[in-house]
């Protein structure tokens, strides 16, 4: 599918990967790009820099009524919603000690927001026989995120949402995509955290990730892996799960040692 002449929506478009996707999509001559973020000022700044018609709309993806208002507004103003980048996402550090509030927040942003936005947009695409819905998951959704149980679990769930939608809607002309990057240089990476320092070593820019994503949409490829090593690790995981677990636990131990050394300094 081409972006040209389409109505494009990007959530979490105020900065980072969402911003890069909005700017790259704008360069592909869409009808309009709707840059949505809970941070309206950031979204306005991105919309102002788009090279095609663009509009900034505030929306917290955790709130179903805000998603309903956002999608109704786009349909009223532009008639349809053709390409959706369901991109907003958050993380939280920690394992079993993660609080119920943190779990709830990650479930809402990283999982339920995709389901809700899909509910509000995919039936319209299916009716038209054309559309694309892109879930930003993470390499953590096909591998794991050392140091964050809630991120790993919710990103696996977001991959599952994208898979399920693909199985159920691809024959109705709706393209589903699942974006699974490893480290990307954005404010998301906390450079005080040894795990994120480790990810930063092989990190890509948000623009590189956006380019790979737009190419995958043009090629209609479901799984988008901008980092080739993620595909290698993913293959290794399915070939020899126990060895994969063993290797990742060695990396975890190494990073835990770095973290404890940093705390002592
Ligand atoms: N940066 C990475 O290394 C990396 C790696 C893999 C996956 N990802 C995923 O990519 C996506 C974007 O990450 P990023 O690196 O650009 O992060 P970022 O923190 O730089 O940007 C996230 C944007 O989403 C917005 N946002 C957060 N919660 C929101 C909410 N409830 N409603 C609306 N907007 C909200 C923020 O305001 C911000 O503008 C996320 O889903 C993240 O999990 C990031």
Is 213 near ligand 1, meaning CB less than 6 Å away?
no
Ligand 1 centre and the CA of 136: distance in Å? 9
**Mutation to probe ligand 1, out of 152, 156, 188, 203 (largest number of atoms < 8 A from CB):** 188
The CATH code for residues 7-229 is: 3.40.50.720
Separation between Cα atoms, residue 86 and residue 41, nearest integer Å: 19
Hey, whose CA ends up nearest to atom 8 of ligand 1? 138
Ligand 1 atom at shortest distance from the alpha carbon of 155: 43
Residue 9 confidence (pLDDT) above 90: yes
Of 174-183, 222-231, 249-258, which gets the smallest average pLDDT? Answer: 249-258
Q: Which pLDDT score is estimated for 178? A: 98
What average pLDDT does range 216-244 have in this prediction?
97
pTM, to two decimals: 0.97
In the DSSP assignment, the letter for residue 205 is P
What average pLDDT does range 112-122 have in this prediction?
98
Each residue's pLDDT tens digit, 181-198? 999 999 999 888 888 988
Each residue's pLDDT tens digit, 68-93? 999 999 999 999 999 999 999 999 99
Each residue's pLDDT tens digit, 16-51? 999 999 999 999 999 999 999 999 999 999 999 999
The encoded tokens of residue 167 equal 């199985």
Ligand 1 atom at shortest distance from the alpha carbon of 19: 16
**Would you place residue 259 in the very low, low, confident or very high pLDDT band (cuts 50, 70, 90)?**
confident
Is 136 near ligand 1, meaning CB less than 6 Å away?
yes
What average pLDDT does range 138-144 have in this prediction?
98
Ligand 1 centre and the CA of 13: distance in Å? 8
| Contacts for 130 with CB less than 8 Å, ≥ 6 apart | 1, 82, 173, 174
Ligand 1 centre and the CA of 86: distance in Å? 10
In the DSSP assignment, the letter for residue 34 is E
Percentage of residues of the chain with pLDDT beyond 90: 92
**Interstrand relation of 83-86 and 7-10 (parallel, antiparallel or unpaired):** parallel
**Would you place residue 263 in the very low, low, confident or very high pLDDT band (cuts 50, 70, 90)?**
confident
Percent of residues in the chain assigned helix, strand, coil, to nearest 5 = 55, 15, 30
**Would you place residue 262 in the very low, low, confident or very high pLDDT band (cuts 50, 70, 90)?**
confident
Torsion angle in degrees (nearest 10) through CA of 175, 114, 84, 204: -90
Is 13 near ligand 1, meaning CB less than 6 Å away?
no
Domain borders along the chain are: 7-229
**Mutation to probe ligand 1, out of 17, 19, 191, 196 (largest number of atoms < 8 A from CB):** 17
Q: Which pLDDT score is estimated for 225? A: 98
Average pLDDT in the chain: 97
Is 30 near ligand 1, meaning CB less than 6 Å away?
no
Element (H, E) at 167: helix 149-169
Tokens 């819905």 -> residue: 133
Ligand 1 atom at shortest distance from the alpha carbon of 16: 16
Separation between Cα atoms, residue 69 and residue 189, nearest integer Å: 31
Ligand 1 atom at shortest distance from the alpha carbon of 88: 24
**Would you place residue 10 in the very low, low, confident or very high pLDDT band (cuts 50, 70, 90)?**
very high
Q: Which pLDDT score is estimated for 198? A: 86
């Amino acid at each position: 599918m081409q972006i040209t002449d389409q109505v494009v929506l990007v959530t979490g478009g105020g900065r980072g990967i969402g911003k890069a996707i909005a700017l790259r999509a704008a360069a592909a001559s869409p009808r309009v790009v709707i840059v949505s973020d809970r941070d309206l000022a950031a979204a306005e700044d991105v919309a102002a820099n788009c090279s095609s018609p663009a509009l900034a709309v505030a929306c917290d993806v955790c709130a179903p009524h805000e998603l309903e208002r956002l999608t109704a507004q786009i349909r009223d103003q532009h008639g349809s919603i053709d390409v959706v980048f369901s991109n907003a996402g958050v993380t939280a550090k920690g394992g079993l000690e993660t609080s119920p509030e943190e779990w709830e927040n990650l479930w809402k942003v990283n999982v339920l927001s995709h389901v809700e936005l899909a509910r509000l947009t995919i039936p319209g695409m299916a009716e038209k026989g054309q559309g694309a819905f892109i879930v930003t998951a993470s390499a953590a959704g096909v591998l794991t995120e050392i140091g964050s149980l809630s991120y790993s679990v919710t990103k696996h769930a977001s991959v599952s949402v994208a898979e399920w939608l693909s199985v159920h809607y691809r024959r109705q002309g709706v393209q589903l995509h699942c974006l699974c990057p490893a480290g990307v240089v954005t404010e998301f990476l906390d450079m005080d955290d040894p795990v994120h320092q480790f990810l930063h070593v092989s990190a890509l820019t948000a623009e590189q990730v956006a380019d790979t994503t737009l190419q995958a949409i043009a090629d209609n490829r479901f799984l988008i892996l901008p980092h080739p090593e993620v595909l290698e690790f993913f293959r290794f995981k399915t070939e020899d799960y126990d060895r994969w677990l063993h290797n990742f636990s060695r990396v975890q131990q190494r990073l835990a040692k770095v973290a404890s050394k940093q705390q002592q300094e």
